[in-house]
Each structure stands twice: as C-alpha cells, then as structure tokens.
Amino acid sequence: MKTPSRFRRFFVPNSLRFQLLSRSLLLMAVLLVVIGLFQYLFMQRFIYQNQAKSIQNQIQSVPPKAWQLMTSNNSDNIPDNIPDNIPANESSDDPANGFNHGPFFFIPDAEIALIDEAGNFTVLSNTPTNVGTPPKLTEQDYQDAMVSNHRLIYKVVQTTGGEQLLVLQPIQMSGHSVGVIQVSSGTKPLNDMLIQQLVIFLSLSLLALIGGMLAFIPVLRKTLVPLSKIVNTVKQIDAGNLAERLPAEQGQMEIDHLAVSFNGMLERLESSFEAEKEAKEQMRRFVADASHELRTPLTSIHGFLEVLLRGAMDQPDKLHKSLKSMYAESERMKKLVQDLLLLAKLDRSPMAQLNEGELDGVIKEMAPQLRLLAGNRKVSLRLTSDLRCRFDEDKMKQVLLNLFHNSVQYTDPEKGEIRISLDRVAGGVELTVKDNGSGIPEEHLPFLFDRFYRSDPSRARKYGGAGLGLAITKSIMDLHEGTIRVESVVEEGTTFYVWLPAPTKPVLE
C-alpha cells in the first residue's frame, strides 16, 4: 500500500517532485529528438555521398577506350534510324555496341547518359522499369563537370518519378575531356533505410525515457530527503518552540544555504520575542512602580485632608503642619511626574542639540548652585581647561545635577566630601563625581540605572527620590553617544564616571 502512495505523490502537478521529473524527461526527450534529427541529416548526407562515390568508382573502372568507342558510335557511326535509347539487355557482336549491353556492374535501376562536348544528351542505358528520359541538368552544370578533375560531383534532384541521385564524371582521352557520363539512381531504397534507422533510434529513445523515469524516481526521492527533513523540522516549530534549528550540513549547497538562512531567521524571531517579552515585563514593572510612587504622596495628602476636615482647621499649629506636609508631598509628586514625562519624551523622540564646546565652563557656571545644594558638605573642583567635546548644555547640566544630588543624599551633612573632576582620556573627555558616602553594595550596581530602582528604598524615599534620576542620566548619555559607569565601596564612597567622545576632526581637502 505504501508504494502506490509514494508514486502517486510524484504525479501531483504542483509538487516539486513532479516538476523536476517532468521537466527533466521533457528536456531529455527534446535532446533526443534533436539528436535524431541531426543524425538523420548527417546519415543522409553520408549515405548519398557514399553511394555517389561508389557510382563514380564504377564509372572510372570502365576503360577510357570503351568510352571513346561509345562516343564515336553515337556521333558518326550510328544510323539515324537507330533509337537513342538502346535497351540495356540487347546484345550485339559490334565492339562499339558492347557498352550498350547495359553495364552489369552498375547498381540496379540506374540510368546512364552521355553528354558530349557539343552538349548532345544520349541515353546509353535504361532500366526495364524506367524507359523514360533520364533527368537533365543545365548546360552550365555539364560544362563545370567537364573541367573538373577527380572531384566527386553529385546532385539530388526531384523528378516526376521521385527523388534521383545524379553522379557526373568527365571522360578524358589524352588529357582532353570528350564528354560527361551521368548516372542517375532513385533514392527510395536509401531513404527507406534512413527511415528504418530513425524509427529504431526513436524506439530506443522511448525505451530509454521510460527506463530513465523508473530509475530517476528513487534517485529523486533520495535527493529530496534533506528538503523533507527541513519540512518535518519546520512543522515542529511554533511560537513556543523557537529553539529548534535545522541541520545546516546535509551535503547539498542550496539546501544548506536555505537551512542557514532559516536558522538565522529563527534566531532573529527568538530575539524579537525575547525583546518583546522583556519590554512587556519592563512596562509592567514601570506601571507598577509609577503607581506605587504616586500612591504614597496621594495617600499622605488624603490623610492630612481628613485630619483637617475633622476639626484641625481650627487649630493653627495642626493646620500649619498639615499644609506644610501636603506641600512637600505635592512637590514630591510634581517632581515624579516631571521625571516620568522627561523619560517618556526621551524614549519617544530622543533628540539633543549637540554643540562643540568646553565642559569646564559649564561646571564652573554651576559651582555656586552646587555648593548651595551641598550645605555644609565640602565641595572641591579639579577641572582641566581647553577640553572640547560635543554636548547639549541644558542636558549636561541635568546630568551633573542628578549625580551631585545623588552624592548629597548619601553623604553625611557635616563630614561629607564631594569631588568633581574633568580630565582628558582616550577618545574623549571624562567627568567624575566622587563622594565619601555610605557606598552601594556590589549586588546593586548592575541595576543602578534601571527605572524606579533604589538600593536603599527607605532612605531614598526620605529624601524624595523615586529611582528615576540615574535612569534619566543614562538616557541622556545615550543621546550623546557617551557612557556612564559607577564604582562603589561600602562605607567608603561612590564614584560616577561620565565619558563624552571628542569632536570629529574635519577632513582637509
């Protein structure tokens, strides 16, 4: 039952197996027909030429004296009442008539004619079945034949009796042409032999095609095994199973290239699915964290409003304390919303006005504001001048403020020290913000620039932090094609390194 189904699959018109099989057989059939046609034409020419050469040899085997006597007898000695076409089987004792016996050495059904120098056409021999006039050529053809030497001259002409093969051979005596012998013979036996050979060739070709088809089917099935493996493997791949890979080395270059391309597509799909999954997870965490951060100040404000509605409005101390707390929470919520809007803007349309300039001037301009934010903490600047780079002034101010504010939060108000330095490094400029605060545990460092991430949630909330400042700083550095990294030791301090690329030098023409 399996064999018929296998063969049935080869005869589905839109299948690759059927198309390969049918087109291969069609190409072979066309080639065999073309070969048979050319073989027929070449064999026809070869057989005609061979037959003409045989007739020429037979003509040349007749002694020249016999042709001379025949020429003389037909020009002067033959009476007018003797017919031109003497039967081939008539006998005579006259030596001159010896040639009129119909030379027995010629092929059957051949007709012999003599054309002398004057152009007289004399029939020397007729077959019993064909007593008509032999075919005649033009005078120019006979003149050209007389001047030829040993070259084989033959023509194939069409007559009322059928196709004829004509052989012309000049007769020379003492170096002088005395006439041309024309021997004509029907080509039907030759054509019958050619057709028989053609029929045999076509029959053998048909048998070869049938045998080739039967032999090609298992070969084709084995050749397409790698493609069948790919089909079976692809059937097992779905959205939940993108780790499956196709075998890439199966011994067929085209199939191997297909497998490599398909594996590359699977890798890209798998990466896309992973990225989409990660993006959804980040969005889920972002919404949860944002909701949590907004809920805290709203809950606080709602609580104070309840206190005021219960009668605290008539107590000046409680009223002032409640309003002050509500103001602080609203400021905190306002900053959180502004940070969220800024992050959304950076994600949606990341644009920056990058201009070439010196970053040390921007830091010096911000120095009074930084010292005011630091309070009693010690602030020191170590800036290298004439360091040019490309940056957006407003955004770099925000980067410096975020890093400085982070250092202020985690250093002691009285003993804290914050150092800001600017140095030249390989390929650009490096801004460093270092403090001697509590430091950050090593396990928190890889996640420090994630949104809403806080290494010390309680302390950060105390100072109003929501874990968005460093995430904003990282996004701004990405806009500048720069980098930011952090080093920290617990109870010793934290250092942030911001690197900006040097401006590209213009190409001198």
- For position 133, which CATH number holds? 3.30.450.20
One domain, residues 298 and 262: yes
pLDDT at 68: 61
Tell me the per-residue pLDDT of 267-294, one tens digit each, with 9 for 90 and over: 888 788 887 887 777 677 667 666 766 7
One domain, residues 490 and 361: yes
Closest CA to 139 of 161, 168, 104, 165: 168
pLDDT at 447: 79
Residue 216 belongs to some domain of the structure: no
Tell me the per-residue pLDDT of 196-206, one tens digit each, with 9 for 90 and over: 888 888 888 88
One domain, residues 56 and 176: yes
Q: Does the pLDDT of residue 90 top 50, yes or no?
A: no
- C-alpha distances in Å from residue 98, one per residue of 44, 70, 293, 406, 469: 35, 9, 136, 137, 132
Name the percent of the chain lying above pLDDT 70: 76
Task: Give 496's contacts (C-beta < 8 A, 6+ positions apart).
Answer: 403, 406, 432, 433, 434, 484, 485, 486
**CB-CB contact of 149 with 73 (8 Å):** no
One domain, residues 490 and 378: yes
Closest CA to 145 of 157, 155, 135: 155
pLDDT at 430: 92
Q: Which pLDDT band, with edges at 50, 70 and 90, does 102 fall under?
A: very low
Q: What CATH number is given to the structural domain containing 260?
A: 1.10.287.130
One domain, residues 362 and 407: yes
One domain, residues 299 and 283: yes
Residue 70 belongs to some domain of the structure: yes
Q: Give CA–CA dist 205/194, Å, rounded.
A: 16
One domain, residues 336 and 369: no
Q: Are β-strands 355-358 and 378-383 bridged in parallel, bridged antiparallel, or unpaired?
A: unpaired
Which residue type occupies 94?
A: D
Residue 19 belongs to some domain of the structure: no
Most confident of 65-69, 243-247, 297-301: 297-301
**CB-CB contact of 452 with 290 (8 Å):** yes
Q: Does the pLDDT of residue 100 top 60, yes or no?
A: no
Most confident of 84-93, 98-107, 418-427: 418-427
Domain boundary residue, one of 315, 349, 383: 349
pLDDT at 140: 86
Name which residue leads in pLDDT, 238 or 357.
Answer: 357
Name which residue leads in pLDDT, 275 or 189.
Answer: 189
Domain boundary residue, one of 176, 193, 210: 193
One domain, residues 48 and 186: yes
Mean pLDDT of 107-122: 80
Evaluate the CA torsion angle 101, 180, 136, 44 in order and state its sign: positive
Residue 420 belongs to some domain of the structure: yes
**CB-CB contact of 395 with 350 (8 Å):** no
pLDDT at 103: 47
Residue 199 belongs to some domain of the structure: no
Residue 313 belongs to some domain of the structure: yes
Mean pLDDT of 494-501: 92
Name which residue leads in pLDDT, 149 or 428.
Answer: 428
What are 345-348's contacts with CB under 8 Å, separation 24+?
346/472, 346/475, 346/476, 346/479, 347/475
**CB-CB contact of 436 with 493 (8 Å):** yes
Q: How many domains does the chain have?
A: 3
Q: Does the pLDDT of residue 142 top 60, yes or no?
A: yes
One domain, residues 276 and 368: no
Q: Give CA–CA dist 180/99, Å, rounded.
A: 15
Token code pair at residue 255: 């199939």
Closest CA to 452 of 281, 275, 277, 292: 292
Q: Give CA–CA dist 477/392, Å, rounded.
A: 10
- For the chain, state the CA radius of gyration: 56
Mean pLDDT of 178-185: 85
Domain boundary residue, one of 349, 376, 411: 349
pLDDT at 99: 43
pLDDT at 78: 38
* Helix (H) or strand (E) segment spanning residue 69: helix 64-72
Q: Which pLDDT band, with edges at 50, 70 and 90, does 432 fall under?
A: very high
One domain, residues 310 and 417: no
H helices of 160-252, in order, are 188-223, 225-235
pLDDT at 462: 47
Residue 234 belongs to some domain of the structure: no
Q: What CATH number is given to the structural domain containing 431?
A: 3.30.565.10
In terms of residue numbers, what domain contains 311?
Answer: 239-349
Residue 167 belongs to some domain of the structure: yes
Token code pair at residue 347: 């994600």
pLDDT at 67: 64
One domain, residues 310 and 378: no
Q: Which pLDDT band, with edges at 50, 70 and 90, does 378 fall under?
A: very high
One domain, residues 67 and 189: yes
Tell me the per-residue pLDDT of 380-403, one tens digit each, with 9 for 90 and over: 999 888 888 888 888 888 889 889
DSSP 175: T
Tell me the per-residue pLDDT of 468-490, one tens digit each, with 9 for 90 and over: 778 888 888 888 888 999 999 88
Token code pair at residue 7: 């063969």
Token code pair at residue 162: 């059928």
Name which residue leads in pLDDT, 310 or 96.
Answer: 310
**CB-CB contact of 109 with 127 (8 Å):** yes
Tell me the per-residue pLDDT of 354-371, one tens digit each, with 9 for 90 and over: 888 888 888 888 888 888
Per-chain mean pLDDT for the chain: 76
Q: Does the pLDDT of residue 84 top 50, yes or no?
A: no
**pTM for the full model?**
0.45
